[in-house]
Amino acid sequence: MKLKVLFFLSIGIVILSVIYIVNLINQDFVLNKEDEYEDTMTIWITTPGLISSIDGFEEASRIKVHIKQFNNWETLIDELLLSNVEGNLPDIIEVHSSYGLDEVVNIEKPKSNEDIGQELFTSFHGATLENFQYKDELYGYPLGVNLPIIIINRTVLNHHFSEKQFLSPFDSNDSLETYQSIQERINNNNKVRPFWLFHFDKEIPYYWDAYQQTRMDSVTSFEVYWTDLVKKYGLVPPLDEHMAITRFSNMEIGVLITTTSKLQTIQELIGNTFEFEVLPLFENGQPLLVSGNGLVAFGNEEKIKRFYEFLAHDDVQLEILQNTGWIPAMKTSMNNVSFINQLPMAKYLSNLVRENNNFRGQGVSNGRRDIWNRIKEKAQEIEESAE
C-alpha cells in the first residue's frame, strides 16, 4: 500500500515539475517576445479597417503599437482632452478631413509636415492635402478619399426620363416641379409602397458644402433649399436619412446621394435586383469637394516618419483601401489603372477617379463641427414640420 502511495506521489511530483518547467519556458518566451521591440507607439483610430496595416508596421518596424479604437470622433476628442490634461497624448490620432482638426490644434499643436518631412507629402493629390491645412500649415497625413456621388436607379427612372439623363436634387425649381410630377406618376402606378425621387444619407452637411463649392456666388441658404426639396415638393422622405441606403436597395428611391465608401455595401444589398449608375454628384467638370480620413501626429518625429513611410508602400495602401472602401489619396495611385482595378467596386471607381482634375479641398476653419451640427439640426427641424 505504501509503495502505491509513493508511486502515485512520485508521478504527481513529476507532472507538477513538468508543468512548472513549461510555464517557465513560456514566461521566458513572452519576455523574449517583448524584448524584440525597440520602442512603443500609441495610435488612436475610429476606422477598424486600419488595424491590419498598423499590425503590419509593428511586425516590420519592431515598434510595439498600442491601438485604441473609438466608435466615433466625439468620443476620441473627449479622451484627447483628458489625455492632454494628464500630459499623456497619443503619438497619432485619426481625424476626419471635414471637421475636428481645428479642435485638435487648440488642444495641443500637432506635428506639421515640415516637422516630419516635406518629402513624405509630395505624392498626394493637392485637394487631399488642402483638407488638412489649418492657418497655412499642413497637419494631416491623408489616408484615403471619399467623393460625393449620386446613384441612379436606371431600371425605374429610364422609363420616365431620357436614357442616361443626369438627375440632381441641386436643380432649379422648374426641374424640381417636373421631378415632383414624375414622382406622383410613379406612385400612382405603384400602390404597393411609396416612392421618392431623391434621398440623402446622414452626411447632408457634406453635400451642402460640396454644392456651395460649385455655386460660389449663390445666396441661397440651406434652409430655403431644404424647405423646397423636402417640404414644398416632397421629393425626399423626412426624418429618414438612416434608412436611405436600405430604401434605395428596396427600390423605394430613384436617386441616392451618398459617398464612395458606401458603394460596396450598396452593391452587396442590391446584387442583380436592378440596374444602377454611379456618377459624381455634379456633372460637366464642376468642382468636386473631396473628404476623407487622415492621421495627425503628436509623438516623436522619427517614429512618425517611419510609420508614414511604411504606409506609403503600394501593398499597404492597397490593404487600407480594400478594407475601407476609400479612393487613393495619392495622385500616382489615382492614375494607375492596374492599382484601381484591385480595389472593391473598381468598375465604378475607375470612372470617378478620372475626374481627379476637378477634385477640390477645403482648408480647415474654426467651428466646422458646430456648423455641420447646425445644418443637421436645421434639416431635422424642417423635416419635422414637413411630416
Question: What CATH number does residue 162 fall under?
Answer: 3.40.190.10
Give the model's pLDDT for residue 36.
78
**Do 155 and 258 fall into the same domain?**
yes
Residue 60 inside a domain? The answer is yes
Q: Write out the residue range of the structural domain in which residue 307 sits.
A: 39-145+291-353
Residue from 145, 261, 251 nearest 199 by CA:
251
Q: Are 262 and 325 in contact (CB under 8 A)?
A: yes
Phi then psi for residue 135, to 5 deg, are 50, 50
Judge whether 322 lies within some domain.
Answer: yes
**Residue type, position 8, single letter:** F
Res 230: pLDDT:
96
As given in the structure block, the three cell numbers for residue 116 are 516630419
Give yes or no: residues 279 and 172 share one domain: yes
Is 169 inside any structural domain? yes
180 shares a domain with 166: yes
Residue 26 lies in a domain: no
Assign 94 to helix, strand or coil. Answer: strand
Q: What is the pLDDT of residue 5?
A: 45
State how far Cα 326 lies from the chain centre: 7
* Shared-domain flag, residues 272 and 316: no
Name the nearest CA neighbour of 151 among 169, 176, 171: 169
288-289/359-360 β-pairing: parallel
pLDDT at residue 30, rounded to an integer: 44
274 with 382, same domain?
Answer: yes
243 lies in a domain?
yes
Quick one: 227 and 215 in the same domain? yes
**Residue 185 grid coordinates:** 406618376
Total of domains in the chain: 2
Is residue 30 domain-resident?
no
Are 153 and 250 found together in one domain? yes
pLDDT (0 to 100) of residue 270: 95
Answer left, alpha or beta for residue 65, where phi above 0 means left and psi between -120 and 50 means alpha: beta
Side-chain-side CA neighbours of residue 77 (13 Å) = 15
Q: Can you give the length of the chain in residues?
A: 387
- Model pLDDT for residues 114-155, shown as the tens digit of each residue: 999 999 999 999 999 999 999 889 999 999 999 999 999 999
Q: Which residues of the chain have pLDDT under 50?
A: 1-3, 5-8, 28-32
Residue 291 near residue 96 (C-beta atoms within 8 A): yes
110 occurs within a structural domain:
yes
What letter does residue 294 receive in the DSSP assignment?
E
**Beta carbons within 8 Å of 365's beta carbon, 6+ residues apart:** 102
Nearest-angstrom CA–CA distance, 246 and 248:
5
230, 377: one domain: yes
If asked whether residues 157 and 218 sit together in one domain, one would say yes
| CA-to-CA dists, residue 129 to 37, 134, 160, 262, 323, angstroms | 32, 11, 42, 23, 22
Q: Looking at the structure, do residues 267 and 373 belong to the same domain, yes or no?
A: yes
Q: What is the pLDDT of residue 184?
A: 95
The answer to whether residues 193 and 218 belong to one domain is yes
- Residue pair 206/272 in contact (Cβ under 8 Å)? The answer is no
**Is 31 strand, coil or helix?**
helix
Angstrom distance (rounded) from CA 195 to CA 161: 16
Supply the pLDDT for residue 10.
60
On whether both 49 and 176 belong to a single domain, the answer is: no
Residue 237 covered by a domain = yes
